[in-house]
Structure 1
Amino acid sequence: MRTVIMLALIVTTLAACGRSDRPSRPDSRNANKKVEGPSARETAMCQRDLRELGVDFEVLPDRQFGPGCGIVGTVKLLDIGVPTTNLGAVRCGQARTYAQWARNAVAPAAYQMLGSELAKIESMGSYNCRNVAGTGRRSGHAIANAIDIGGFQLKDGRRITILKDWNSPDPDVRRFLQTISASACKRFGTTLGPNYNAAHRNHLHLEDDKANFCR
């Protein structure tokens, strides 16, 4: 009897792990939902803005990947002046805001508060066909309108991460993270971090959605 119970527990545990590893399934609100994006005119104006900012980018074709998931009016950022890892498709408006934040907020803050130039920003990705955790609502990542930032590499060799350093004993590191987060709140529609919930303990979620929500 004990063996049967142990086997049942093992099967249950494995099943739970399997569920947690799979993307959230869309509910009826996402069924057959085609992704709409900015107009062709808005996208063209945004691309012009990127060029004027000196941003090097590649225009990506519009594609639908599934219910509520797709890329419309997106670009791939090639060079914004501050290297960023792991970025794929990003909606143009989000790319423009991100480039300005990285260049005009993050890089100067690193030099002024940490005494080192910024070598790169570590992204945890942009496009991802998934729901907001624990809901049936599509994430901003599902339309390439969000970027998650996990860390920052400095030219002096130091690496600052949201997970490890958000409550760092070093006041300069804490001030740096608080400053760039506050700057993100002024630029992006939604900015979420460790103060919001446990799901964001290791990154800043930056989304160009005009929601005016900062936590």
Structure 2
Amino acid sequence: MRRGILFLALLLASCIGGDDDRPAPIRERKSGPITLNRPTPRETQQCFTDLSREQVRYSPLPDRDFGGGCIVTGAVQLLDIGVPVTNLKSMRCPLARSFAAWVRFAVAPAAKQILGSELVRVESFGTYSCRAIIGSGASGRMSEHGLGNAVDVGGFVLADGRKVRVETGWKSDDPAVREFFQVIHRSACKRFKTVLGPDYNAAHYNHLHLDMGRGPFCA
């Protein structure tokens, strides 16, 4: 059973590895991305409608093939989800929809109720990145980041000036901060296919990895 769990973890994780692991070399096309002229699938159209209904401001992006297996389709650029988010690039619409809902209906209320202050900014490490999964056991498999289907969140800024970061807050001496991260982590596991945090491995010591790839897997 334990061997099966370990295999599943390696199969599902989208940025796996230890401190000495590096992403396998994958390079974008030197001449730049190729725009793919494809009809918009019904599921993507529905996702756009869902974002508009929730009053999320976004800009649809063209489908693009960046080379090296990095292809981003059905993507958007989030413009306004209610609070600023740093470092966001293109992200597939279902990821954007889940991310906006998580910030609005999980992170923001938890900040107010548990930490006693309004959420004023989310600090991310980004979304799209053309690379393979980190980790020696990944065999060069494409990361969900290379498909615009993952986002890494490093911390949050509150109205009272506090910066609550995964790196220092996950096992904080402050029980309220620990509770905050436990609550938003549990919520993320209900909204995303894969959620990886500091308890998963050393590569995630400073962020929460959220993706809509394979799963469900929560660690």
TM-score, shorter chain, exceeding 0.5: yes
CA shift in 2, pair 1:209/1:39, >3 Å: farther
**Offset at 1:161?**
0.5
2:186 corresponding residue in structure 1:
182
**Offset at 1:152?**
0.3
**Offset at 1:39?**
5.8
1:47 corresponding residue in structure 2:
48
How far, CA to CA, are the matches of 1:107 and 1:141 in structure 2? Answer: 25
How far, CA to CA, are the matches of 1:109 and 1:38 in structure 2? Answer: 40
CA offsets per residue over residues 41-87 of structure 1, 9 Å max, x none? 11111000000000000111111011220211100000011211110
Q: Show structure 1 runs of 4+ deviating over 6 A.
A: none
Which residues in structure 2 correspond to 1:54-133 (within 5 Å)? 54-133=55-134
Contact kept in structure 2, 1:127 and 1:144, CA below 8 Å = yes
1:170 corresponding residue in structure 2:
174
Aligned length: 188
* Structure number with higher relative contact order (C-alpha < 8 Å, ≥ 6 residues apart): 2
CA offsets per residue over residues 75-105 of structure 1, 9 Å max, x none? 0000011211110000000000000000000
**Offset at 1:181?**
0.5
How far, CA to CA, are the matches of 2:84 and 2:39 in structure 1? Answer: 26
CA offsets per residue over residues 151-202 of structure 1, 9 Å max, x none? 0000100000001111000000000011001100011000000010000110
SS of residue in 2 equivalent to 1:96 = helix
How far, CA to CA, are the matches of 1:118 and 1:54 in structure 2? Answer: 18
Q: Return 112-121 or 61-70, whichever deviates more.
A: 61-70
Unaligned runs of 5+ in 1: 1-19, 27-35
Unaligned runs of 5+ in 2: 1-19, 27-35
TM-score of the superposition, structure 2-length normalised?
0.81
**Offset at 1:25?**
2.1
**Offset at 1:209?**
2.1
How far, CA to CA, are the matches of 2:39 and 2:130 in structure 1? Answer: 19
* Structure whose alpha-carbon radius of gyration is higher: 1
Contact kept in structure 1, 2:86 and 2:123, CA below 8 Å = yes
| Of 169, 192, 197, the match for 1:193 | 197
How far, CA to CA, are the matches of 1:141 and 1:171 in structure 2? Answer: 32
**Offset at 1:120?**
0.6
Identity %: 55
SS of residue in 2 equivalent to 1:196 = coil
**Offset at 1:131?**
0.8
**Offset at 1:210?**
4.8
How far, CA to CA, are the matches of 2:39 and 2:142 in structure 1? Answer: 18
